[in-house]
Amino acid sequence: MKNLFLSICAAAVLASCGAMSGTSTAKVGKSQPSLANTKWTLAENVKGKVPTLNIEGEKINGNAGCNNYFGTVKLDSSTGDFVAGQMGSTRMACDNMSVEKNFMDMVGKANKYVLTGTTLELYKDNLLLLKFNKAE
């Protein structure tokens, strides 16, 4: 009975690993569609205003949940590289500043992107940091 249980567990683990290979992480570091002149809304439910990401040429801006932010971005669609820099923002105080702080930290740490249809994912190497839906 113990061997049967272990066999079932091992099969479940192997099946889940196989299913994961089809996810977006398999596309990290591969050629991606261009992000030029696109607008995105964070896909996660957050308290307060939902953060946004607007990409216009080599500049990014949007709202981080409270304050508006701006910065530069270097994109390479042939490798899916995403590097945000020279970030700045307005300085209003809001109730839930942790959402904004976490959002800005993640944008600054991202080094790869994967664009699949109307979904944009930002990664630090193979670790998913942020997921966005295309804004209308």
Domain boundaries, the chain: 27-134
Residue whose entry in the numeric block shows the structure tokens 């994961």: 20
Beta carbons within 8 Å of 17's beta carbon, 6+ residues apart:
none
pTM: 0.79
* Structure confidence by residue, pLDDT tens digits, 58-97: 999 999 999 999 999 999 999 999 999 999 999 998 887 8
Report CA torsion sign: 56, 59, 35, 20.
negative
Tokens of residue 10, six digits: 């091992």
* Structure confidence by residue, pLDDT tens digits, 16-43: 333 333 456 778 889 999 999 999 999 9
Question: 27-134 belongs to which CATH class?
Answer: mainly beta
CA-to-CA distance for 47 and 104, rounded, in angstroms?
16
Average pLDDT, the chain: 84
